[in-house]
Amino acid sequence: MINGLSLGSVYALMAVGYSLVYSIMNFSNFAHGGVIMVGAYIGYFAMTAANLPFWLAFVLCGVGAGLLAVLLELLVYTPLRNRNAPFLYYIISAMGASIFLENFVIATIGPTYRTYPQVFSTEPFRLGALSLSRIDLMIIAVAAVGLVALVIIIDKTKIGLGIRASSFSIKASQLMGVNVNVTIFIVFLLGGILAGFAGMLFGMKYTVYPTIGAITTKSFVAAVFGGLGSLPGAIIGSVLLGVIEVLVSGYLSSNFRDLIAFVILIGILIVKPTGLMGKTSEDKA
């Protein structure tokens, strides 16, 4: 369960970025995986090449990934929004941006797998016969703090009110004085920061490589599971998916891990296409 919560926490940090963008712009931002990958590399090089302490590298990976997400929005999506392009164009552009980022890293940094330096002791916490990994506990704690902070921003601040209003209707929000361009900028920034954190945490637990962003496929499944466009749904769906994957690996076989994830996706799309907490909308598909 601890391993499942740790994995689900990483999925949640990734999935909320999907849900935030989808809630306003009505498309799945598949370039999110590239942002996660860049965040993982920023944290790695900050701790190895620059020899920075963990906390500073962690902040830099979030800031760097957040700025990259904003840059992608300005260069890739803003021109499409200005031309009122169909949402299919957004998806194609997102896939193209993701492929570009992966191949750019392969061409410049190389395809070699890299391992983070040891930050925490490998000696686990012990509660009787139970061994708790320090990195898993740290991932759960960091993800919890990040997600709680995001929920507070969305529910308690003025910009959060603008985000919630825009998720219902961009046109009505503009008429009520909401600056939608700034709102979208904040959404991409917040999603990018959490994506950078997720990339570094995932890289610390496993390894860093150019295609690490492919893990966002699971976070997309989690977002659909919980309900695209629903922030609580993305978090709940991510935690459930992480726990289910680990339980399947532990009690059946790791060969069924990915199979179960996509069976869940297909089942949800058939039985309840809006997900656990999603809402039906003709504009969202």
Q: pLDDT tens digit string along 209-267? A: 999 988 888 888 888 888 877 788 888 889 988 898 888 888 888 888 888 878 877 88
| Residue 154 resides in a domain | yes
**pTM > 0.85: yes or no:** yes
User: What is the tally of structural domains in the chain?
Assistant: 1
Give me the mean pLDDT over the 268-277 stretch.
80
- The pairs formed by 261-268 with CB atoms below 8 angstroms and a separation of 24 or more are 261/218, 261/221, 262/221, 264/221, 264/225, 265/221, 265/224, 265/225, 268/224, 268/225
Contact 245, 261 (CB under 8 A): yes
| Residue 83 resides in a domain | yes
- Residue 218 CA from chain centroid, whole number: 10
| Residue 258 resides in a domain | no
Q: pLDDT tens digit string along 92-134? A: 999 999 999 999 999 999 999 999 998 777 777 777 777 788 8
| Residue 20 resides in a domain | yes
| Residue 283 resides in a domain | no
Residue with tokens 């179960």: 260
| Residue 25 resides in a domain | yes
CA nearest neighbour of 194 among 5, 9, 53, 30: 9
Neighbours of 270 (CB within 10 A): 8
For residue 284, the model assigns a pLDDT of 42
Contact 231, 281 (CB under 8 A): no
Which domain covers residue 75, as residue numbers?
2-113+132-211
* Average pLDDT in the chain: 87
Q: How far apart are CA 270 and CA 259, in angstroms?
A: 17
| Residue 271 resides in a domain | no
| Residue 253 resides in a domain | no
For residue 44, the model assigns a pLDDT of 94
